Amino acid sequence: MLELYHNTMSTCSQKVRLALAEKDLEYTSHYIDLGAFENLKPEYLAINPHGVVPTLVHDGYLVLESSVMCEYIDEVWPEPALSPGTALGRADMRAWMRYIEEVPTAAIRVPSFYKLWRQEVKDIPQKEFEQLSEAMSVRLDLFRQVRRSSSPNDDTYREAVENLGRVLDRVESALENGPWLIGEQFTIADIVLVPVIVRMEDLGMSDMWAHKPTVARWYQNVQSRPSFGIAYCDGSRIEME
Ligand SMILES: N[C@@H](CCC(=O)N[C@@H](CS)C(=O)NCC(=O)O)C(=O)O
């Protein structure tokens, strides 16, 4: 039995929902309201001490970290394969996964927070923020940065957008060798990139790949997969006013 603690809008949850949908796996869904800080409540921290979503539970055993969950799902349910059959191919895929986690997954949080939740985060009364901080282990720096930010277009914001631009350049050249990041096979490397590109589109940043036809084609191919419609269930996309 599979259970997923997640949030529809969370990019990390979307990765895991994509992997589950690729395998046609059903799961019991537990919705965690990030706006209400349910992720920082003691009952949730007991299953995920980082206080973040998603958390996967398989037959009562916990699996943490969204990319690890994708690899776990692929190992336990190997068909259809989401990883290459060779060690070198898997190394290539994992190198992309690490890069995507380190650069664009981190970068996209900045425009997400700055454009969507900046004022809300700034408005949290200091006393309440200090209490929440005690439970925040991995997102405290970002929350502090957002609270400190003097404008929605500060250096942190501009640097994050610059980083996303560099990622698109790198993705563009990789896609000259095949439809997917590591060639002919759709893998977990593609899955972990999808939520970044979707969020960029939702935030009105799709002009950043307007002159990158390989990236536009990759995104179209991603959206044509049945898993996309399943993973991006109602409430997953952000509608900007
Ligand atoms: N490295 C973790 C990061 C998870 C993460 O940052 N999740 C975000 C949502 S995408 C979260 O729960 N944030 C809590 C918050 O914003 O308070 C993973 O990939 O599972």
pLDDT of residue 177: 94
| 66 close to ligand 1 (CB < 6 Angstrom) | yes
Per-residue burial over 128-165, b = 16 or more CB atoms within 10 Å of its CB, e = otherwise:
ebeebeebbeebeebbebbeebeeeeeebbeebbebbe
- Give yes or no for residue 241 having a pLDDT over 90: no
Please identify which residue in the block is written with the tokens 């990236």.
215
Percentage of residues in the chain having pLDDT higher than 70: 100
Distance between Cα 68 and ligand 1 center (Å): 13
| 12 close to ligand 1 (CB < 6 Angstrom) | yes
Measured from the CA of 69, which atom of ligand 1 is nearest?
A: 20
| 52 close to ligand 1 (CB < 6 Angstrom) | yes
The reported pTM is 0.97
pLDDT of residue 137: 87
The CA distance from 75 to 58, in Å, is 13
Distance between Cα 126 and ligand 1 center (Å): 22
User: What is the pLDDT confidence band of residue 240, given thresholds at 50, 70 and 90?
Assistant: confident
| 17 close to ligand 1 (CB < 6 Angstrom) | no
pLDDT of residue 217: 98
The CA distance from 201 to 143, in Å, is 23
Return the number of other C-beta atoms located less than 10 Å from residue 172's C-beta: 17
Q: Whose CA is nearest to atom 19 of ligand 1?
A: 66
The CA distance from 75 to 55, in Å, is 17
| 34 close to ligand 1 (CB < 6 Angstrom) | yes
| 15 close to ligand 1 (CB < 6 Angstrom) | no
Q: Note whether 6 and 13 are within 8 A (CB).
A: yes
- Give yes or no for residue 84 having a pLDDT over 80: yes
pLDDT, tens only, 190-225: 999 999 999 999 999 999 999 999 999 999 999 999
- Give yes or no for residue 169 having a pLDDT over 80: yes
Q: What angle do CA 23, 178, 14 make, to 5 degrees?
A: 35
Question: What does the pLDDT average to over 55-79?
Answer: 98
Sheet holding 28-31, edge to edge: 28-31, 2-6, 55-58, 61-63
| 112 close to ligand 1 (CB < 6 Angstrom) | no
Measured from the CA of 32, which atom of ligand 1 is nearest?
A: 12
Per-residue burial over 60-82, b = 16 or more CB atoms within 10 Å of its CB, e = otherwise:
eeebebbbebbbbbbeebeeeeb
User: What is the pLDDT confidence band of residue 172, given thresholds at 50, 70 and 90?
Assistant: very high
* Average model confidence (pLDDT) across the chain: 97
